Protein backbone atom coordinates (compact mmCIF):
# COMPACT_ATOMS: atom_id res chain seq x y z
CA UNK A 1 0.00 0.00 0.00
CA UNK A 2 2.80 2.37 0.94
CA UNK A 3 4.60 1.50 -2.29
CA UNK A 4 1.45 2.19 -4.31
CA UNK A 5 1.08 5.64 -2.70
CA UNK A 6 4.66 6.43 -3.55
CA UNK A 7 4.11 5.44 -7.18
CA UNK A 8 0.93 7.55 -7.33
CA UNK A 9 2.77 10.51 -5.82
CA UNK A 10 5.54 10.18 -8.39
CA UNK A 11 2.99 10.00 -11.17
CA UNK A 12 1.29 13.16 -9.87
CA UNK A 13 4.61 14.96 -9.65
CA UNK A 14 5.55 13.83 -13.14
CA UNK A 15 2.17 14.93 -14.48
CA UNK A 16 2.47 18.34 -12.85
CA UNK A 17 6.02 18.68 -14.12
CA UNK A 18 4.98 17.69 -17.63
CA UNK A 19 2.06 20.10 -17.51
CA UNK A 20 4.38 22.82 -16.26
CA UNK A 21 6.84 22.18 -19.06
CA UNK A 22 4.01 22.16 -21.59
CA UNK A 23 2.67 25.44 -20.20
CA UNK A 24 6.19 26.91 -20.19
CA UNK A 25 6.68 25.98 -23.81
CA UNK A 26 3.21 27.21 -24.83
CA UNK A 27 3.15 30.51 -22.94
CA UNK A 28 6.85 31.43 -22.88
CA UNK A 29 8.42 29.83 -25.93
CA UNK A 30 5.62 29.50 -28.49
CA UNK A 31 5.12 32.56 -30.70
CA UNK A 32 1.74 34.20 -30.99
CA UNK A 33 -0.15 34.39 -34.27
CA UNK A 34 0.96 36.95 -36.83
CA UNK A 35 -1.52 39.84 -36.95
CA UNK A 36 -3.11 41.05 -40.22
CA UNK A 37 -2.13 44.59 -39.20
CA UNK A 38 0.20 45.83 -36.41
CA UNK A 39 -1.29 46.44 -32.97
CA UNK A 40 -0.26 49.42 -30.88
CA UNK A 41 -0.17 49.95 -27.14
CA UNK A 42 1.19 52.65 -24.86
CA UNK A 43 3.17 52.06 -21.68
CA UNK A 44 2.82 55.05 -19.40
CA UNK A 45 5.64 56.34 -17.22
CA UNK A 46 5.36 54.75 -13.77
CA UNK A 47 2.84 52.13 -14.91
CA UNK A 48 3.02 48.82 -13.02
CA UNK A 49 4.38 45.75 -14.78
CA UNK A 50 1.17 43.92 -13.88
CA UNK A 51 -0.82 46.52 -15.83
CA UNK A 52 1.63 46.29 -18.74
CA UNK A 53 1.28 42.50 -18.78
CA UNK A 54 -2.50 42.73 -19.02
CA UNK A 55 -2.23 45.30 -21.84
CA UNK A 56 0.08 42.99 -23.77
CA UNK A 57 -2.28 40.06 -23.30
CA UNK A 58 -5.31 42.12 -24.33
CA UNK A 59 -3.49 43.20 -27.49
CA UNK A 60 -2.60 39.58 -28.28
CA UNK A 61 1.14 40.29 -28.18
CA UNK A 62 1.54 37.52 -25.57
CA UNK A 63 -0.52 34.48 -24.63
CA UNK A 64 -0.63 35.02 -20.87
CA UNK A 65 -0.30 38.02 -18.58
CA UNK A 66 0.72 35.73 -15.72
CA UNK A 67 3.40 34.05 -17.81
CA UNK A 68 5.10 37.32 -18.73
CA UNK A 69 4.90 38.52 -15.13
CA UNK A 70 6.66 35.36 -13.98
CA UNK A 71 9.21 35.74 -16.76
CA UNK A 72 9.80 39.40 -15.89
CA UNK A 73 10.30 38.64 -12.20
CA UNK A 74 12.49 35.58 -12.85
CA UNK A 75 14.78 37.40 -15.31
CA UNK A 76 14.76 40.77 -13.56
CA UNK A 77 13.55 42.51 -16.71
CA UNK A 78 10.24 43.66 -15.20
CA UNK A 79 11.98 46.64 -13.59
CA UNK A 80 13.79 47.66 -16.78
CA UNK A 81 10.99 48.23 -19.28
CA UNK A 82 10.72 51.70 -20.81
CA UNK A 83 7.56 53.75 -21.27
CA UNK A 84 6.50 54.67 -24.78
CA UNK A 85 4.36 53.70 -27.75
CA UNK A 86 4.96 50.21 -29.11
CA UNK A 87 3.84 48.34 -32.19
CA UNK A 88 3.56 44.54 -32.32
CA UNK A 89 3.15 42.50 -35.48
CA UNK A 90 2.67 39.14 -33.75
CA UNK A 91 4.64 35.95 -34.22
CA UNK A 92 6.87 36.61 -31.19
CA UNK A 93 7.63 34.81 -27.94
CA UNK A 94 7.67 36.37 -24.47
CA UNK A 95 11.48 36.79 -24.42
CA UNK A 96 11.29 38.71 -27.71
CA UNK A 97 8.44 40.89 -26.50
CA UNK A 98 10.35 41.68 -23.31
CA UNK A 99 13.43 42.53 -25.37
CA UNK A 100 11.44 45.24 -27.18
CA UNK A 101 10.19 46.69 -23.90
CA UNK A 102 13.63 46.73 -22.28
CA UNK A 103 15.41 48.07 -25.38
CA UNK A 104 12.78 50.78 -25.82
CA UNK A 105 11.90 49.85 -29.39
CA UNK A 106 9.28 52.59 -29.46
CA UNK A 107 6.93 53.31 -32.27
CA UNK A 108 8.19 56.68 -33.46
CA UNK A 109 7.66 59.21 -36.22
CA UNK A 110 10.90 60.66 -37.57
CA UNK A 111 10.78 64.29 -38.71
CA UNK A 112 13.69 66.20 -40.26
CA UNK A 113 13.66 69.94 -39.55
CA UNK A 114 16.26 71.59 -41.82
CA UNK A 115 17.88 74.95 -41.16
CA UNK A 116 16.07 78.11 -42.15
CA UNK A 117 12.43 77.09 -41.64
CA UNK A 118 9.84 79.33 -40.03
CA UNK A 119 7.32 78.25 -37.39
CA UNK A 120 4.74 78.09 -40.17
CA UNK A 121 6.89 75.79 -42.30
CA UNK A 122 7.77 73.56 -39.33
CA UNK A 123 4.06 73.24 -38.56
CA UNK A 124 3.45 72.15 -42.15
CA UNK A 125 6.08 69.41 -41.84
CA UNK A 126 4.68 68.15 -38.56
CA UNK A 127 1.17 67.97 -39.98
CA UNK A 128 2.41 66.20 -43.11
CA UNK A 129 4.09 63.64 -40.84
CA UNK A 130 0.74 62.99 -39.16
CA UNK A 131 1.80 64.33 -35.77
CA UNK A 132 -0.13 67.51 -34.93
CA UNK A 133 -2.37 69.96 -36.73
CA UNK A 134 -0.38 72.85 -38.18
CA UNK A 135 -2.70 75.42 -36.62
CA UNK A 136 -2.45 73.85 -33.16
CA UNK A 137 1.33 73.80 -33.37
CA UNK A 138 1.54 77.42 -34.53
CA UNK A 139 -0.73 78.61 -31.71
CA UNK A 140 1.40 76.76 -29.16
CA UNK A 141 4.62 78.08 -30.71
CA UNK A 142 3.40 81.68 -30.87
CA UNK A 143 1.75 82.06 -27.49
CA UNK A 144 1.44 78.69 -25.76
CA UNK A 145 2.09 78.06 -22.09
CA UNK A 146 5.63 76.75 -22.68
CA UNK A 147 6.54 79.80 -24.75
CA UNK A 148 5.16 82.09 -22.06
CA UNK A 149 6.97 80.22 -19.31
CA UNK A 150 10.29 80.64 -21.14
CA UNK A 151 9.77 84.39 -21.59
CA UNK A 152 9.69 84.21 -25.40
CA UNK A 153 6.71 86.49 -25.77
CA UNK A 154 5.51 88.48 -27.63
CA UNK A 155 6.93 86.85 -30.80
CA UNK A 156 6.99 83.28 -29.54
CA UNK A 157 9.35 80.47 -30.47
CA UNK A 158 10.30 81.69 -33.94
CA UNK A 159 14.04 81.08 -34.34
CA UNK A 160 14.35 78.88 -31.25
CA UNK A 161 13.10 75.61 -32.76
CA UNK A 162 16.46 73.98 -33.32
CA UNK A 163 16.94 72.31 -36.73
CA UNK A 164 17.61 68.58 -36.27
CA UNK A 165 16.21 65.11 -36.88
CA UNK A 166 13.58 64.32 -34.24
CA UNK A 167 11.86 61.09 -33.23
CA UNK A 168 8.43 61.62 -31.71
CA UNK A 169 5.72 59.38 -30.39
CA UNK A 170 2.80 59.35 -32.86
CA UNK A 171 0.71 60.63 -29.96
CA UNK A 172 3.03 63.53 -29.07
CA UNK A 173 1.28 66.79 -28.28
CA UNK A 174 2.27 70.20 -29.64
CA UNK A 175 3.76 71.09 -26.25
CA UNK A 176 5.85 67.89 -26.17
CA UNK A 177 7.20 68.62 -29.65
CA UNK A 178 7.96 72.22 -28.73
CA UNK A 179 9.71 71.09 -25.56
CA UNK A 180 12.00 68.77 -27.54
CA UNK A 181 12.92 71.46 -30.06
CA UNK A 182 13.39 74.22 -27.52
CA UNK A 183 15.46 71.94 -25.29
CA UNK A 184 17.85 71.29 -28.16
CA UNK A 185 18.23 75.03 -28.68
CA UNK A 186 18.83 75.97 -25.06
CA UNK A 187 21.48 73.27 -24.73
CA UNK A 188 23.74 75.31 -27.01
CA UNK A 189 23.57 78.33 -24.66
CA UNK A 190 26.66 77.20 -22.77
CA UNK A 191 28.56 79.51 -20.38
CA UNK A 192 31.07 80.07 -23.19
CA UNK A 193 28.29 81.23 -25.53
CA UNK A 194 26.81 83.48 -22.86
CA UNK A 195 30.26 84.98 -22.25
CA UNK A 196 30.64 85.65 -25.95
CA UNK A 197 27.21 87.32 -26.13
CA UNK A 198 28.25 89.57 -23.25
CA UNK A 199 31.45 90.51 -25.13
CA UNK A 200 29.37 91.41 -28.19
CA UNK A 201 26.87 93.37 -26.12
CA UNK A 202 23.99 91.28 -27.47
CA UNK A 203 21.30 89.19 -25.81
CA UNK A 204 20.15 85.76 -26.94
CA UNK A 205 17.26 87.09 -29.03
CA UNK A 206 19.53 89.49 -30.91
CA UNK A 207 22.09 86.77 -31.64
CA UNK A 208 19.40 84.38 -32.85
CA UNK A 209 17.83 87.14 -34.95
CA UNK A 210 21.13 87.91 -36.65
CA UNK A 211 21.86 84.20 -37.08
CA UNK A 212 18.46 83.67 -38.69
CA UNK A 213 19.21 86.36 -41.28
CA UNK A 214 22.60 84.80 -41.99
CA UNK A 215 20.88 81.41 -42.34
CA UNK A 216 18.45 82.71 -44.96
CA UNK A 217 21.13 84.62 -46.87
CA UNK A 218 23.96 82.07 -46.95
CA UNK A 219 23.94 79.35 -49.58
CA UNK A 220 27.57 78.30 -49.17
CA UNK A 221 28.46 77.29 -45.58
CA UNK A 222 31.90 78.87 -45.66
CA UNK A 223 30.44 82.33 -46.37
CA UNK A 224 28.35 82.53 -43.20
CA UNK A 225 31.01 84.37 -41.11
CA UNK A 226 31.63 86.82 -43.98
CA UNK A 227 27.92 87.58 -44.32
CA UNK A 228 27.62 88.00 -40.56
CA UNK A 229 30.61 90.37 -40.69
CA UNK A 230 28.88 92.53 -43.30
CA UNK A 231 25.83 92.89 -41.06
CA UNK A 232 27.96 93.74 -38.02
CA UNK A 233 29.75 96.42 -40.05
CA UNK A 234 26.43 97.90 -41.10
CA UNK A 235 25.07 97.84 -37.56
CA UNK A 236 28.18 99.62 -36.32
CA UNK A 237 27.76 102.33 -38.97
CA UNK A 238 23.99 102.52 -38.35
CA UNK A 239 23.31 101.50 -41.95
CA UNK A 240 20.13 99.53 -42.73
CA UNK A 241 20.90 95.84 -43.15
CA UNK A 242 18.88 95.74 -46.40
CA UNK A 243 18.33 91.98 -46.31
CA UNK A 244 15.69 90.61 -48.68
CA UNK A 245 14.67 87.69 -46.38
CA UNK A 246 13.67 90.16 -43.64
CA UNK A 247 11.41 91.99 -46.08
CA UNK A 248 9.88 88.73 -47.28
CA UNK A 249 9.15 87.50 -43.76
CA UNK A 250 5.68 87.67 -42.24
CA UNK A 251 4.23 86.15 -39.09
CA UNK A 252 1.42 84.44 -40.99
CA UNK A 253 3.85 82.61 -43.26
CA UNK A 254 2.99 84.37 -46.52
CA UNK A 255 5.99 85.17 -48.73
CA UNK A 256 5.86 87.73 -51.51
CA UNK A 257 8.24 88.56 -54.33
CA UNK A 258 11.40 90.20 -53.01
CA UNK A 259 11.20 93.14 -55.41
CA UNK A 260 7.79 94.06 -54.02
CA UNK A 261 8.52 93.03 -50.42
CA UNK A 262 11.48 95.37 -49.99
CA UNK A 263 9.13 98.31 -50.63
CA UNK A 264 6.46 97.05 -48.24
CA UNK A 265 6.57 98.60 -44.76
CA UNK A 266 7.08 96.02 -42.03
CA UNK A 267 8.61 95.83 -38.57
CA UNK A 268 10.93 93.15 -39.99
CA UNK A 269 11.81 94.89 -43.27
CA UNK A 270 15.44 96.00 -42.87
CA UNK A 271 15.12 98.17 -45.96
CA UNK A 272 12.65 100.26 -43.95
CA UNK A 273 14.19 100.04 -40.47
CA UNK A 274 17.69 100.53 -39.10
CA UNK A 275 19.15 97.85 -36.87
CA UNK A 276 17.97 94.33 -36.25
CA UNK A 277 14.32 93.35 -36.72
CA UNK A 278 12.35 92.67 -33.51
CA UNK A 279 12.97 88.93 -33.65
CA UNK A 280 14.23 86.00 -35.72
CA UNK A 281 12.84 85.30 -39.18
CA UNK A 282 13.61 81.55 -39.18
CA UNK A 283 15.35 78.84 -37.19
CA UNK A 284 19.12 79.10 -37.70
CA UNK A 285 21.40 76.09 -37.51
CA UNK A 286 24.46 75.83 -35.30
CA UNK A 287 26.86 77.09 -38.00
CA UNK A 288 24.84 80.27 -38.51
CA UNK A 289 24.69 80.85 -34.76
CA UNK A 290 28.45 80.39 -34.58
CA UNK A 291 28.85 82.88 -37.45
CA UNK A 292 26.74 85.41 -35.55
CA UNK A 293 28.92 84.89 -32.49
CA UNK A 294 32.23 84.91 -34.36
CA UNK A 295 31.85 86.97 -37.56
CA UNK A 296 34.69 87.39 -40.02
CA UNK A 297 36.60 90.65 -39.66
CA UNK A 298 36.47 92.68 -42.86
CA UNK A 299 35.58 96.08 -44.32
CA UNK A 300 32.83 94.66 -46.53
CA UNK A 301 29.48 96.45 -46.50
CA UNK A 302 27.74 94.83 -49.47
CA UNK A 303 27.31 91.45 -51.12
CA UNK A 304 25.44 90.12 -54.13
CA UNK A 305 24.76 86.52 -55.14
CA UNK A 306 26.24 84.79 -58.13
CA UNK A 307 24.21 82.14 -59.92
CA UNK A 308 26.11 79.35 -58.12
CA UNK A 309 25.06 80.56 -54.67
CA UNK A 310 28.35 82.20 -53.77
CA UNK A 311 28.56 85.96 -53.26
CA UNK A 312 30.69 88.87 -54.37
CA UNK A 313 31.58 91.04 -51.37
CA UNK A 314 32.29 94.75 -51.77
CA UNK A 315 33.57 97.57 -49.57
CA UNK A 316 31.84 100.44 -51.40
CA UNK A 317 28.51 100.96 -53.12
CA UNK A 318 30.26 101.70 -56.42
CA UNK A 319 32.07 98.36 -56.24
CA UNK A 320 28.77 96.73 -55.34
CA UNK A 321 27.05 98.20 -58.41
CA UNK A 322 29.91 97.02 -60.63
CA UNK A 323 29.63 93.51 -59.15
CA UNK A 324 25.90 93.46 -59.93
CA UNK A 325 26.54 94.63 -63.49
CA UNK A 326 29.20 91.96 -64.03
CA UNK A 327 26.90 89.21 -62.76
CA UNK A 328 24.04 90.47 -64.94
CA UNK A 329 26.33 90.58 -67.96
CA UNK A 330 27.50 87.01 -67.36
CA UNK A 331 23.98 85.66 -67.11
CA UNK A 332 20.48 86.30 -68.32
CA UNK A 333 19.10 89.68 -67.24
CA UNK A 334 16.58 88.17 -64.81
CA UNK A 335 18.94 85.62 -63.26
CA UNK A 336 20.81 87.83 -60.83
CA UNK A 337 19.57 90.21 -58.18
CA UNK A 338 21.06 91.55 -54.96
CA UNK A 339 20.15 89.14 -52.18
CA UNK A 340 21.18 91.43 -49.34
CA UNK A 341 22.99 94.44 -48.06
CA UNK A 342 22.43 97.31 -50.43
CA UNK A 343 20.07 97.27 -53.39
CA UNK A 344 21.30 98.80 -56.63
CA UNK A 345 18.56 101.35 -57.18
Pair type for strands 84-90 and 109-113: unpaired
Q: What is the DSSP string of 114-175?
A: -TT--HHHHHHHHHHTTSS-HHHHHHHHHH-HHHHHTT-TTTTTTTTS--EEEEE-TT--HH
What pLDDT was estimated at residue 49? 93
What pLDDT was estimated at residue 19? 42
Integer Cα distance of 20 and 94 in angstroms: 16
Dump strand ranges (E) for 216-334: 302-305, 311-314
Q: Does domain 109-186 have CATH number 3.30.1490.480?
A: yes
Residue 339 pLDDT > 80 = no
Residue 26 pLDDT > 80 = no
Integer Cα distance of 161 and 123 in angstroms: 11
Residue 288 pLDDT > 50 = yes
**For 9, phi and psi rounded to 5 degrees?**
-60, -40
SS3 at position 292: helix
What pLDDT was estimated at residue 283? 96
What pLDDT was estimated at residue 12? 46
Q: What are the boundaries of each domain within the chain?
A: 28-103, 109-186, 191-330
Rounded to an integer, the average pLDDT of 160-182 is: 93
Q: Is the peptide bond before 24 cis (omega within 30 degrees of 0)?
A: no
pLDDT digits (tens, 9 = 90+) for 229-264: 999 999 999 999 999 999 888 766 655 555 455 556
What pLDDT was estimated at residue 47? 92
HSE-up of 166 (CA within 13 Å, CB side)?
26
pLDDT digits (tens, 9 = 90+) for 43-72: 988 899 999 999 999 999 998 899 999 999
Judged by average pLDDT, the poorest of 119-128, 265-274, 333-342 is: 333-342
Going by pLDDT thresholds of 50, 70 and 90, the confidence category of residue 187 is: very high
Integer Cα distance of 195 and 232 in angstroms: 18
pTM over 0.85: no
Going by pLDDT thresholds of 50, 70 and 90, the confidence category of residue 331 is: confident
Going by pLDDT thresholds of 50, 70 and 90, the confidence category of residue 344 is: very low
- 240 burial type by CB count under 10 A (0-12 exposed, 13-18 middle, 19+ buried): middle
**What's the helix, strand, coil split of the chain in %, to 5?**
50, 10, 40
Integer Cα distance of 229 and 13 in angstroms: 86
Specify the fold of 28-103. Answer: Dna Ligase; domain 1 (3.30.1490)
* Of 329 and 206, more confident: 206
Integer Cα distance of 43 and 84 in angstroms: 5
Residue 5 pLDDT > 80 = no
DSSP 290: H
Fold match between domain 28-103 and domain 109-186: yes
pLDDT averaged over the chain? 85
Amino acid sequence: MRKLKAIIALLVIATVAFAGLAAFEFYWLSPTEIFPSPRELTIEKGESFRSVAHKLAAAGAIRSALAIQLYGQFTGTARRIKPGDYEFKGGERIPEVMHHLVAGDFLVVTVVIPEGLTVNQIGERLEAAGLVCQGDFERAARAGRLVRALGLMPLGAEGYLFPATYRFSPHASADEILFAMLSRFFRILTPQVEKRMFELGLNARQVVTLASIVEREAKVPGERPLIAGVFYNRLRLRMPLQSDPTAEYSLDGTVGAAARAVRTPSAFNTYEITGLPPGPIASPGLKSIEAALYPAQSNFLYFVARNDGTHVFSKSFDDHRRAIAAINKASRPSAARPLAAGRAD
